[in-house]
Amino acid sequence: MADTQTPDISGLVEELSGSSRRRRQEVAHTIALAARANPAVVAPHADALIDALFRPEAQTRWEVLDALGCVAQDNPDLVAGAFDGAEASLFDDGSATVRLAAFEFLCRLGASSPERSDEVWPLVDEAIQCYHGDAEYRDMLAALLRLAQGSASDATKEALAARVKFDAENGTGYIKSFSAEILQALL
Residue 146: C-alpha distances to residues 14, 116, 180, 181 (Å): 32, 14, 14, 11
Instruction: From 131, 130, 129, 106, select the one nearest 119 (Cα to Cα).
Output: 106
For the chain, give the mean pLDDT: 95
Q: What is the pLDDT of residue 5?
A: 58
What's the predicted TM-score (pTM) here?
0.94
Q: What is the pLDDT of residue 133?
A: 87
Confidence of residue 3 (pLDDT cuts 50, 70, 90): very low
Q: Fill in the DSSP letter of residue 61.
A: H
Confidence of residue 24 (pLDDT cuts 50, 70, 90): very high
Alpha-carbon gap, residue 95 to 100, rounded angstroms: 9
Instruction: Look at residue 149 and tell me whether its pLDDT is greater than 60.
Output: yes
Mean pLDDT of 41-56: 97
Alpha-carbon gap, residue 124 to 159, rounded angstroms: 11
Confidence of residue 7 (pLDDT cuts 50, 70, 90): confident
Mean pLDDT of 143-163: 97
Confidence of residue 187 (pLDDT cuts 50, 70, 90): confident
Q: What is the pLDDT of residue 6?
A: 60
Instruction: From 54, 42, 50, 56, select the one nearest 12 (Cα to Cα).
Output: 42
* Model confidence pLDDT, tens digit, residues 69-127: 999 999 999 999 999 999 999 999 999 999 999 999 999 999 999 999 999 999 999 99
E-strand stretches of the chain: none
